[in-house]
Structure 1
Amino acid sequence: MSGILNGLLSWSHRAALSYREVAQEKQRYHLALDAEDALGDVMQGLGHLADSIHLRKRIHVPEQGRSREIDVIAVTHCLYVVEVKNWAGKIWSNGNKWYQLPPRPGARALEFDDVLEECEYKARALVRTLMKHGVEMPAGSVRAIVVFANEKAQLDPATVGKHPSVFTREQFKDTVEPRSRTRDFLSYIAPSILASKSDIPVALRQKINGLLSKTRTWDTVVKHNGERYQGDLKWIKLVEYQDWRHVRDAQAGLNVQRQDIESVDLSWASPAWYGVLGAMWQGAAGVLTITVGKKYPMVAGDATAASAGGKGSGGAKKQPRESRRLDADPDAPRTHVVRLSTRSTHKNTIDVNHVVFQPAGQQGPSVFPLSEVATMELSANADRVGARPFQ
């Protein structure tokens, strides 16, 4: 009975958060990713090889002491550095500030730093980094552009709309699916983007592609309140994982290191009636699914890593809790499901299931209880394969 009561309390706490706001935030995030993916697909459709299109790459900027993300880098006859925006509503600029008025009642104008200037800054940082690796770009071969991929974007023709490096399209057919509309728009503007050709020798292009292919993207955490963090996931601490039957050392918990994780999916019960049933049946309101790499499967038995290649055992010397890693047992399962509660009897954040995350530009890591996290997206090229920000 107490399990059902705790489950209902867990669900009611989760339901108090706005399902609609969380869903909209997830939708906005994935639409932005779709726009970037679609631009890459269009360029490939125009005859550019897949390995010459690089999405969401991190470029180290020494003077800022941090990495910056470039939405799309296209290595063609020119080197295109593309900032993709999924903004809707009226968009204009005043001096070095850009503004967006979202198309909803009572919305206030949002202020941003000059988007094109930011894109040009990233392009210069990329060129400087390429030079450090022996790549000298031909004059006029680098172009920074901004693409507004949302069909509801309305550019002010007197400011941002008149710039030759800013692209959008005002009309889309209502009968076309949103993702198809994005592709239709990008197909429309891509020829003009790619029309200006410059001489980047094939050998130089191959070298650039080789460097960028090993570059990391960001890990991303989106909280229920809409806050989004980009940076590096350090590890996921699992204290309450009662349904991991193959793990006995439940009190100690387990640190699942980022380099061990191949994929992660975090979902919360929605709609409301499903949350009630889930809370009553499972005593939880969310589900975390972790898939670990072939080299780092979960150990069957004790959660403590005993020694390389060996299972946890009573006679093995336990490592400190902070350094626990997954053991290399080839027979252990690779995919694991954890039922999550949004309420806990523990007082301290570190005593509940949580994520240790290093936000970009922040000095130290942050600790987020999993109950506060709406979704997580892992970067391409994890540390496990030796990738890093381009520097």
Structure 2
Amino acid sequence: MVNYVQEMAYWAPTVLLIVSILLLIIIAVGLSYGIFWKGVASWSWRQIFSLVRLSAHEYSFRASMDAEESVEAALRDAGWRHVFLRRRVPVQRLSHNREIDVVAVGPVILVVEVKHWRGFVWCNGQRWYHQGRKEGQTLEFEDVLEDNLVKATALRRYIENDKRIPLPDFEVATADLRDEEDRGTWYKDPRLHKLSGKLVVPVVVFTNKMVKLDPKTVKRKENVFDMPGFKKYARELIQSTRGTSPISLYKLRFIEFVGRQLFHQNYNPSGCYLSLRDEMRVATAVRTMRTWDMVILLNGKLYHGDIVKIELESIKKRFERKQIADMEVLWFTGLFGFLKTLWLNTNGIIKIKFVDPKAGTITVSQAMRKMKRSCNGNKLFLKLAGSVEIVSIILTDVASVQLSRHEHGV
């Protein structure tokens, strides 16, 4: 047995060397005859494009999107079960949607505005100021907290009016308006757009470690935090209302169940917070809201907006966004991925799932990048968020696609 192991150890390097040489010969012969050309060219382009550096603006934009995901992770670590990114809420007065960075549904509904600013931040009345890395370069903004309050009010209106989910603090939210006879109209009275109540809480979070909030102005404002302060706030809020253990949660569920059986309604022992049943209903409503289609390129560049259509030149087909339920870009990676590239003569595939169950799912091989004719090839068209500009993106440059999973018509 010992001799057998010694012989295997002696001959193993030789066998591996021979196999490697034969593999290189096969690849070289295949390339000379053009057998593996498309697959290797696609593989090479993916490696090269992944090294292309982002511009300062592109890097800053990607960092701000990553900051929103860090807030989501902080909320989940604190015990919030329902956290949603980049929901678009309709604002009727403006006749268009506004984007909410993060929505967290628990004992209250947190509407989080995420700022990844670096430098010094202060405010003077309704004006906020941000001084970046360069001395003297100061940017001026409208009141960030007030702007987020408008979004929170729009979200509350969507939950109560569109989804017909009454929130238990309605009387408190409208008390100020009922005290006055002349309340004005929907378009004239600005107070109507800033009635989020006690259950829909607008919050501003500064996530950059290099930010400094003015202790005399910004930091004194309620519901304005840096990242450590927000983590503490989110954890204490969930623990003070839902308890610190699973037993506390089951106890609260039992109390609510008994209350519904006795009072024949959605029993809420504390009107200051959402019941577990209302929490689930609101979370379901927020989950079905529109968000953005996200396209991430191989070098990390990110596009977000609404995909208009997808054109697949390799199979001579075109699909509108409303026809597509999901889309996945898969690349072959690692050693086995490279061997699969040689075998299939492509470095990846595109899977498209359609809304119509009869259409099913199609799988398309990644086409080779055409350097001299960049306008041709498999590509998608995306209308950028907050703009009317439509950009075309070649699918050979795409690392992943995330589609909005909203309900149709929402």
TM-score, with structure 1 as normaliser = 0.60
Shift in alpha-carbon separation, 1:92–1:76, aligned structure 2, 3 A: same
Residues 46, 298 of structure 2: 8 Å contact kept: no
Structure 2 residue aligned with 1:341? 369
How far the C-alpha of 1:115 sits from its partner, in A, is 2.1
In 2: Cα distance, 1:99 partner to 1:222 partner: 32
Out of 157, 160, 167, which is 1:128 matched to? 157
SS in 2 for 1:63: coil
Residues 81, 143 of structure 1: 8 Å contact kept: yes
Residues 35, 84 of structure 1: 8 Å contact kept: no
SS in 2 for 1:293: strand
Residues 22, 374 of structure 1: 8 Å contact kept: no
Matched, 1:37 2:62: no
How far the C-alpha of 1:157 sits from its partner, in A, is 1.7
* Identical counterparts, % of pairs: 23
Structure 2 residue aligned with 1:290? 350
Structure 2 residue aligned with 1:219? 293
In 2: Cα distance, 1:70 partner to 1:11 partner: 34
Residues 37, 55 of structure 1: 8 Å contact kept: yes
How far the C-alpha of 1:353 sits from its partner, in A, is 3.8
Structure 2 residue aligned with 1:370? 394
Shift in alpha-carbon separation, 1:30–1:145, aligned structure 2, 3 A: closer
Shift in alpha-carbon separation, 1:288–1:83, aligned structure 2, 3 A: farther
Out of 123, 144, 153, which is 1:115 matched to? 144
Matched, 1:355 2:380: yes
Shift in alpha-carbon separation, 1:39–1:287, aligned structure 2, 3 A: farther
- For the pair shown, the structure with the greater C-alpha radius of gyration is 2
Q: Which runs of 5+ in 1 are unaligned?
A: 171-184, 242-249, 270-277, 297-307, 310-326
Letter in 2 for 1:370: I
Out of 61, 67, 90, which is 1:60 matched to? 90
Number of residue equivalences: 307
In 1: Cα distance, 2:141 partner to 2:370 partner: 34
Structure 2 residue aligned with 1:146? 204
Shift in alpha-carbon separation, 1:369–1:141, aligned structure 2, 3 A: closer
Letter in 2 for 1:358: K
In 1: Cα distance, 2:348 partner to 2:224 partner: 40
In 1: Cα distance, 2:398 partner to 2:57 partner: 7
Shift in alpha-carbon separation, 1:37–1:380, aligned structure 2, 3 A: farther
TM-score, with structure 2 as normaliser = 0.58
**Residue-by-residue CA offset, 1:112-134 (whole Å, 9 max, x unaligned):** 44321221110010112223133
In 2: Cα distance, 1:99 partner to 1:266 partner: 44
SS in 1 for 2:305: strand
More helix by share: 2
How far the C-alpha of 1:186 sits from its partner, in A, is 4.7
SS in 2 for 1:118: helix
Letter in 2 for 1:53: V
How far the C-alpha of 1:10 sits from its partner, in A, is 7.8
Out of 274, 278, 281, which is 1:200 matched to? 274
How far the C-alpha of 1:38 sits from its partner, in A, is 1.1
Matched, 1:164 2:222: yes
In 2: Cα distance, 1:328 partner to 1:28 partner: 36
In 2: Cα distance, 1:55 partner to 1:18 partner: 27
**Residue-by-residue CA offset, 1:210-229 (whole Å, 9 max, x unaligned):** 32232232113468999965
Out of 63, 67, 73, which is 2:103 matched to? 73
SS in 2 for 1:34: helix
Letter in 1 for 2:379: H
How far the C-alpha of 1:341 sits from its partner, in A, is 2.9
